[in-house]
Structure 1
Amino acid sequence: MFASRTRVAAFTTTAAVACLVLAACGSAPQSSSGSAGGTDAKAATSVADFGGLDKLVEAAKKEGTLHTIALPPDWANYAEIIKTFEDKYGIKIENENPDGSSSDEINAVKTRKGQDRAPDVLDLGQSFAASGAQEGLYAPYKVATWDSIPAEQKDPDGKWVNDYGGYVSIGCDAAKVTVCPQTFADLLKPEYKGQVALNGNPTKSGSAYAGVYAAAIANGGSFDDIQPGIDFFGKLKAAGNFNPVESTPATVEKGETPISIDWDYLNVGYADEFKGKGVDWKVAVPADGIFAQYYSQAINKDAPHPAAARLWQEFLFSTDGQNLWLKGYARPAALTAMTAAGTVDAAAAAKLPKVEGTPKFPSEAQAAKAKEALANGWAAAMAG
């Protein structure tokens, strides 16, 4: 139920081929849903601009469709979230390339500008959210629950807002691994030869990027210096412990990736999903590399369904939406405020892996620097 978001970046090549075949990628029909009921939906920065939630719902229903991209149904409870939204509002969600990457999403926004098939909304790793905002790709929008989201978890203008997240963790199949690793230092032990995998390529995948950042922290690095993490994986490969197979639910179930560095909410989900199927999946949040990250929501400034895009944001950041993330073992951005207000799903919150301390996050500048370092150094580390 809680599959790994492989998000392999295949979109650019596919789109290029499609353009050659169709010879009309730049001239696809544009949406005519830029306004509804006298309100310019594309210019709306809050629900008040529509005259309230009921008016926003009315405008979104007239559009009738929401285009999403790279939302795996089995990632952090997205299947239930998508179905609940569709059932609640009668709006069809067309979810393209569910296993795509954050970079695929950004590419789709850029290459499909002005086209009806462009994505309306985006779910991005933080570094991609920040870089996209700097490029001017998103529409500013502040949801009704804006004040419940910590200041460090959102762009001050609402160009992106963190929604759900978790901690980097080490998942391990105790049915195949005699002693499961608990720390990054453990992963270099010879008994883990050929077993340690990432969920994707860190230059394209937000979860793999976080895994390298966590390894950096475990090896003397910092938010300002991800290089020790890149070096760590180089050592892991040189030792023969790194497994180049990108972990997915299928590879976990088949035993192809017996140790997987991934988000805690995915690894905990695997423990439930594969119980009774010959997989004894254990999860550890490595004490030597504590790294938390949230995924960010953003609205394409050229969204073909701008009202539906804004309603989607309102739904995700509502109490119901935030509690749906909890059901997928992810930590919603408004968790602290909801706990204080007594609106949190206490049973779901109790199942979250326990982690000591308050999470800290790299700044936009630090994330951009880390992203550049990975782009310049990852291939060399893997080739060494």
Structure 2
Amino acid sequence: MNNFTTNKTGWNKGTSLTLALALGLTLAGCGTNSNSNSNSTAKEASPSANNSVTNTQAADQKLVVYSAGPEGLAYKIIEGYEAQTGVKVEMFQGTTGKILARMEAEKSNPVVDVVILASLPSAQGLKNDGLTLPYPEAHNADKLNPDWSDKEGNYFSSSASALGIAYNTKLVTTPPTSWEDLTKPEYKGQINIPDPSLSGSALDFITGYLSDKGESGWSLFEQFNNNDVAVAGANQEALDPVITGAKSMVVAAVDYMTYKAKAKGEPVDIVYPKEGTVISPRPAAIMKSTKHEENAKSFIDYLLSDEAQKLVSNAALLPGRTDIKAENRANLDEIPLLKADWVWMNENGADVTDKFTKLFK
């Protein structure tokens, strides 16, 4: 990253451990696999009169954002925010794990003002360690899905993805309707699952499934292992072989990635199993160490604005606001859900990852 303004605020005791654990649990989430830095040039625009975004008049018109993508959406959001406020945004683009690693390295001299993650438990961890700055008065926060965001305003999930079964339409003419279908002999050796130590969304699915089914839920993953389901890197690495036809399906596929590939003409589609799946919210949080508080707040306001939520929908993600529907994809009311317990998922993620990794060795 370029020369950022930093401060000397240290992180609370225990944060290193929390982030170190998170690195092993939520590396990829639903974000891009790229790891790029960007100095996004500020537009020569006056602050917006639109009351959906705070009118920013800070002397230092600057903001540092670490974003877990998707990359194209992240840049469009930055561009829209800069155009409305005149604030110059410097963005680090990477996976959730790379963001957490960078924050860990910078903990004695924090740089980032706002983080956008692809893992709800990671945002919960930041809140629990006292690292977030509450902003309960954020514009449109009352319209957010209450299950995805913090009622005290410590993090705001402005978008989400759902996890399903992605399949190659040339190889699979009758798509499965249940997770259990993937244990059938005809699918032996034809299925990928993202690695939960690299993919936060894969971990969300595994822990969400277990929080709903209990200890007996492990039998599904044992059957997956017996059917030669392959643990195949992060989300895009697991999906690419299905796009090319080297594999037939992906378990716990991130739906927006599949929708985007389908829109490009690739022979893929996605189904949501009848017994239910897990939604992976994408939370944004203001860091307590921010030196650009008003700019950070106006950025959250923009994320929750009509304009930004439209960008979310165009990127094939679920909008975070309940009053806005997604286009060209399944909406929340069309997706059967497991009764996922996010508190249990957060507390047990490390143990689940360890057991899953050992099972698939």
TM-score interval, smaller chain:
0.7 to 0.9
Equivalent residues of 2:55, 2:298 under 8 A apart: yes
Please state whether the residue corresponding to 1:62 is helix, strand or coil: coil
Matching of residue 266 in structure 1 with residue 257 in structure 2: yes
Indicate which of 77, 82, 98 corresponds to 1:81: 77
Matching of residue 129 in structure 1 with residue 123 in structure 2: yes
Structure 2: any 5+ residue segments left out of the alignment? 1-27, 36-50
Counterpart of 1:236 in structure 2 is 224
What's the offset of the Cα at 1:297?
1.3
Equivalent residues of 2:158, 2:282 under 8 A apart: yes
> 1:151–1:9: structure 2 CA closer, same or farther, 3 Å change rule?
same
Residues in 2 aligned to 1:211 and 1:180: alpha-carbon distance in whole angstroms? 20
> 1:308–1:204: structure 2 CA closer, same or farther, 3 Å change rule?
farther
Please state whether the residue corresponding to 1:283 is helix, strand or coil: strand
Please state whether the residue corresponding to 1:153 is helix, strand or coil: coil
Counterpart of 1:366 in structure 2 is 344
> 1:174–1:236: structure 2 CA closer, same or farther, 3 Å change rule?
same
Equivalent residues of 2:199, 2:235 under 8 A apart: no
Residues in 1 aligned to 2:216 and 2:83: alpha-carbon distance in whole angstroms? 47
Indicate which of 90, 94, 110 corresponds to 1:94: 90
Matching of residue 190 in structure 1 with residue 189 in structure 2: no
> 1:213–1:188: structure 2 CA closer, same or farther, 3 Å change rule?
same
Matching of residue 57 in structure 1 with residue 56 in structure 2: yes
Matching of residue 293 in structure 1 with residue 280 in structure 2: yes
Indicate which of 52, 68, 71 corresponds to 2:69: 71
Please state whether the residue corresponding to 2:189 is helix, strand or coil: coil
Residues in 2 aligned to 1:256 and 1:90: alpha-carbon distance in whole angstroms? 47
Equivalent residues of 1:196, 1:259 under 8 A apart: yes
Please state whether the residue corresponding to 2:260 is helix, strand or coil: helix
Counterpart of 2:9 in structure 1 is none
AA in 1 matched with 2:114:
D
Counterpart of 1:14 in structure 2 is none
AA in 1 matched with 2:262:
A
Please state whether the residue corresponding to 1:210 is helix, strand or coil: helix
What's the offset of the Cα at 1:6?
5.8
Counterpart of 2:6 in structure 1 is none
Residues in 2 aligned to 1:362 and 1:140: alpha-carbon distance in whole angstroms? 25
Deviations 1:151-203 (A, max 9, x none): 4332222111222113221111112335433321111122323332234x324
AA in 1 matched with 2:273:
P
What's the offset of the Cα at 1:287?
0.7
Please state whether the residue corresponding to 2:116 is helix, strand or coil: strand
Equivalent residues of 1:109, 1:137 under 8 A apart: no
Counterpart of 2:307 in structure 1 is 320
Residues in 1 aligned to 2:53 and 2:77: alpha-carbon distance in whole angstroms? 20
Counterpart of 1:44 in structure 2 is none
What is the Cα-based RMSD across aligned positions, in Å? 3.4
1:334-373 aligned at under 5 Å gives the runs 334-335=321-322, 338=323, 344=324, 348-349=326-327, 351-352=329-330, 355-356=333-334, 362-373=340-351
Residues in 2 aligned to 1:296 and 1:187: alpha-carbon distance in whole angstroms? 31
> 1:228–1:126: structure 2 CA closer, same or farther, 3 Å change rule?
farther
Residues in 2 aligned to 1:358 and 1:283: alpha-carbon distance in whole angstroms? 13
Please state whether the residue corresponding to 1:121 is helix, strand or coil: strand
Structure 1: any 5+ residue segments left out of the alignment? 11-51, 339-343
Equivalent residues of 2:207, 2:352 under 8 A apart: no
Residues in 1 aligned to 2:52 and 2:181: alpha-carbon distance in whole angstroms? 51
After TM superposition, which residue ranges in structure 1, 4 or more long, deviate above 6 angstroms? 7-10, 52-55
Equivalent residues of 1:166, 1:330 under 8 A apart: yes
Indicate which of 144, 155, 166 corresponds to 2:139: 144
Counterpart of 1:24 in structure 2 is none
Structure number with the higher helix fraction is 1
> 1:171–1:210: structure 2 CA closer, same or farther, 3 Å change rule?
same
What's the offset of the Cα at 1:211?
2.6
> 1:131–1:362: structure 2 CA closer, same or farther, 3 Å change rule?
farther
Matching of residue 307 in structure 1 with residue 294 in structure 2: yes
Equivalent residues of 1:230, 1:381 under 8 A apart: no
Please state whether the residue corresponding to 2:232 is helix, strand or coil: coil
AA in 2 matched with 1:169:
G
Equivalent residues of 1:252, 1:258 under 8 A apart: yes
Matching of residue 120 in structure 1 with residue 82 in structure 2: no
TM-score when normalising by structure 2: 0.74
What's the offset of the Cα at 1:314?
0.7
